[in-house]
Amino acid sequence: MSVKNLLNGVILFTSSVLILVTSASVVVAKQHLEIPVSGMVTMVDLGAKKCIPCKMMAPIMEELEAEYKGRAAIVFIDVWENPNAGNDYGISLIPTQIFYDAKGNEVLRHEGFYDKASIISELTKLGVK
């Protein structure tokens, strides 16, 4: 599980939810993920729900998450809701997509909008069927 300190709380990344745990509240999510997911090809999209190219990618990410469930981890992190993520992942603009192989090695970074066919091509190159 990827855990980062945030002021007096903790943030946990999940497949589709950013969780903020403070002494006052705990939000329960459906699935906690270590990023990259151990033993699985992982694609992380760092963006924001309100940026235009990120909004264009949102339905693609939802489709890919459903289509590749159990075969590859498709993760979205909103950098405006989690401002430390930009530094943690070393990004300079959004959206940025990072692909990891099943061993957890970063193999590709792409900046800007990335169409579904190109993402599928990269996942296929990494051995995802």
E strands present in the chain: 3-6, 9-13, 18-21, 42-47, 73-78, 96-100, 106-111
Residues serving a catalytic function are: 51, 54
User: By three-state DSSP, how is residue 82 classified?
Assistant: coil
* Residues 6 or more apart in contact with residue 37 via CB below 8 angstroms: 73
Instruction: Give residue for tokens 């993760």.
Output: 75
Cα 5–71–53 angle (5° rounding)? Answer: 60
